[in-house]
Amino acid sequence: MSVTSELRRTVADLHRELTKYELVIWTAGNVSARVPGQDLMVIKPSGVSYDDLGPDAMVVTDLHGKLVEGEYAPSSDTAAHAYVYRHMPEVNGVVHTHSPYATAWAARGEPIPCVLTMIADEFGGEIPVGPFALIGDDSIGKGIVETLRTSRSTAVLMRNHGPFTVGATPRAAVKSAVMLEDVARTVHFALQLGKAEPIEQEHVDRLYQRYQNVYGQ
């Protein structure tokens, strides 16, 4: 099996996680993966139903969004994914959804404060808001990269739009999208009851270091 056909399967399987965790509706949302060692990525096609997103439906583009392999047009968010891969060499997976709780924070233009150990663990601090950007050029990609560079977070809430997440692997980017929606919901609930208590920076740092370096298998 070629590298891209294996990666098409991985990316197709990861799209199932978006529906499983109810992060997407209709044809919205997308996952992409960098093809290791090549200036290529695998991404979801545009406007294809989640039921039909098998490995063969995935498309391969270059890192400027030009179609290289595949029967469909690439996702309308391809330019944003490509920009991230061009400017963040450590990133090998990108995810975009309009998951409702995270997107509600994006609509308010408000960062999700670091008020849970899970947020410190996974995101290393508050989850930042990126600029308002229109689709069609590099503005979304630029907004994602510039915001993530100022933060340890793997997630950014693009203002009036929704979340983009990144990861060292495509699976890690999907995990970030799933965790993001979970904490966005929980912090929303907390704020319905009153104030949420921030975690001291020193503790945030310790939690983040431990989780990123020690936790897991």
Question: Distance between CA atoms of 152 and 147, rounded to whole angstroms?
Answer: 10
Token pair 């595949």 is found at 70
Q: Are strands 30-34 and 93-96 parallel, antiparallel or unpaired?
A: antiparallel
The active-site residue, picked from 13, 121, 138, 205, is: 121
The string of DSSP codes covering the chain is: --HHHHHHHHHHHHHHHHHHTT---TT--EEEEEPTTSSEEEEPBTT--GGG--GGG-EEEETTS-EEE-SSPBPTTHHHHHHHHHH-TT--EEEE---HHHHHHHHHT-PBP--SHHHHHHHSS-BPEEPP--BTBSHHHHHHHHHHHTSS-SEEEETTTEEEEEESSHHHHHHHHHHHHHHHHHHHHHHHHS--PPPPHHHHHHHHHHHHHTS--
Residue 215 known to be catalytic: yes
Query: What is the residue type of 37?
Result: G
Please, how many CA atoms are within 13 Å of residue 100, restricted to the half-sphere of its CB? 7
Active site residues: 121, 215
